[in-house]
Structure 1
Amino acid sequence: MIPGPTRETRSLKHPVEDFVLPAGVKRIAAAVEYCGSAFSGWQRQSHSPSVQASVEAALSKVANEGISVICAGRTDTGVHATNQIIHFDTAAKRKDSNWLLGANANLPFGIRLHWVSEQTADFHARFSATARTYRYLIVNQPQRSALFYHGLSWEKRSLETPGMHRAIQLLIGEHDFSSFRASGCQSNSPNRNVHRARVWRQANLVIIEITANAFLHHMVRNIVGALVCIGRGDRSIEWLRELLLLRDRTKAPPTAPPNGLYLVKVNYPDGFRVPQMVPGPQFIAEV
């Protein structure tokens, strides 16, 4: 097995330009789409199936050697991705198309690679990323969806999306997000920089999208929990700002379920050859 770089323990702000691969070793990147409902999150687990373990097993068969992958952002149990970015180092000589077709032939139906591309040694799926975008999907109708039970959250009370959109604008910029941070979050700092945020409706589907430099554990789902309260009319728009300034998770509403959450985009500097994809999921009309 070709070991990954030891930078995994470093801060997100630390560069990786000085990392040099061993002779004959290449760094490969790929985009992974997965339905998280059948897995105990992204990260490899000793007691239950994970997306990471499935991807590594498939790539290892293609490489005929052990492959260890690093992702842009680890997702929790039940959370999905349309565009998770990974990288791995290998001495195996394979074409990009061989990696792609071979891995997909060995992956379960709930996981697929969409592209594979060789990268320079200074590319790092996590530390080279400048932003990540998550989307949270809520079916807003009297009854829960039968077809998309595992892929949509549900709210039976009518949600007023213009108010939710105005509220989420209050989170743009760099803030202390302690009110929206899981108690078990291991990040050294509660500060994150939200670049862009919006809420819109597509028929009975309410979509919440947040782009930030990085996210705290459960940050998006905790924000969604507050936005739903505002959308139902239980709380005012300004209440979201009050929650943010309180910096107290106990004052915020419960965490939204995981099944509506998708990692849909990861941004990298233009110097890296990272193909662009439609964020998705594919049944959403882009606006």
Structure 2
Amino acid sequence: MRNIKMTIEYDGTRYQGWQRLGNTDKTIQGKIENIIKQLTGETIEIIGSGRTDAGTHARNQVANFKTEYTGSLAEMLSFFHKYLPQDIVVKHLEEVPDRFHARYNAKGKTYSYYLWNDPIPSAFKRHYSYHYPETLNLDAMQQAAELLCGTHDFAGFSALKKSKKSTVRTIEAITITREGHELHFTFKGNGFLHKMVRILVGTLVEIGSGQMKIKQIETIFEQKIRSEAGETMPAQGLFLDYVEYE
């Protein structure tokens, strides 16, 4: 039995997210598993580093699967390139030790979020950024981003339902840069809760627009109430950039 690690790039616009769903074939996991079955004849479940929501994109999603297939990795990669939809690309395959698990062994992730910040929307960026026409105070947003870094309980910045699992996470860095009309947010941390990055961006945007004060971040950490944080920004601006492993 071989354990194959995959690095995958995808445009999530047409899909209902990463996770295979029983009522639709429009998922990233489902599409890839169907191609693996065509190649190997095996019904296989691929394990992703994490789920991405409907409309979210990935530059370097990581997954693994186990197979009895004896062909070369080059043959396998060629098959993926030939039969997967053009908006899903397997970039790299690697045979890894049996114990490797794409989700459990992940030590950190980096996400990007893009905001088109101009009164006039962009026809070309509409699937890969969110149009926000109002003026934003970048200095205030960067001050707020510094408060969000570190180890905190991010329950108030998550859409996670009540769970026994810990909501404590560590954000190593948040950067906000402007390139023309586009704002680029990057988040690097040891893990992120459900919709956490999109809620963090929504909170920073409300601070940048003056709807929220910087000091409210501490209140959200203390009260852990989702409704106190900013809105959940739309999915099309979100990219999973990297997954880190030891």
The bucket for the TM-score relative to the shorter chain is over 0.9
Fraction of identical pairs, as percent:
33
Residue by residue over 1:13-62, the C-alpha shift from the partner in whole angstroms, topping out at 9 and shown as x without a partner, is xxxxxxxxxxxx01000111111111111000111211100011112222
Range that drifts further, 39-48 or 227-236: 227-236
Q: TM-score, normalised by structure 1?
A: 0.81
Alignment partner of 1:262: what SS? strand
The Cα shift of 1:185 comes to: 6.3
How is 1:160-239 mapped onto 2 (pairs within 5 angstroms)?
A: 160-184=137-161, 186=163, 188-239=165-216
Unpaired runs of at least 5, structure 2: none
1:41 aligned residue:
17
Q: Following the alignment from structure 2 to structure 1, what is the Cα–Cα distance between the partners of residues 149 and 77?
A: 37
Give 1:122's aligned residue.
Answer: 99
Matches of 1:158 and 1:168 in 2, distance apart? 18
| Letter aligned with residue 8 of structure 2 | V
Change in 2 beyond 3 A, CA 1:156/1:53: same
Letter paired with 1:119: V
SS of structure 1 residue aligned to 2:199: helix
Range 257-266 or range 63-72, more displaced: 63-72
SS in 2 for 1:67: coil
Aligned to 2:134: 157
Partner SS, residue 106 of structure 2: coil
* CA distance in 2 between partners of 1:75 and 1:183 (Å): 14
**C-alpha RMSD of matched pairs (Å):** 1.5
Kindly report which structure 2 residues correspond to 1:11-22, keeping only aligned pairs within 5 A, or say none: none
TM-score by length of 2: 0.94
Gaps (5+ residues) in structure 1?
1-24, 270-287
1:28: which partner in 2? 4
Contact kept, 8 Å, 2:204 with 2:230, in 1: the verdict is no
Letter in 1 for 2:156: S
Letter in 2 for 1:180: F
SS of 1:130 mapped into structure 2? strand
Q: Could you tell me how far apart the structure 1 residues matched to 2:138 and 2:240 are?
A: 21
Provide the secondary structure at the position in 2 that maps to 1:230. helix
Aligned-partner Cα distance in 1 for 2:61–2:139: 29
What is the number of residues matched between the two proteins? 245
CA distance in 1, matches of 2:40, 2:122: 41
Q: How far apart are 1:243 and its partner, in Å?
A: 2.3
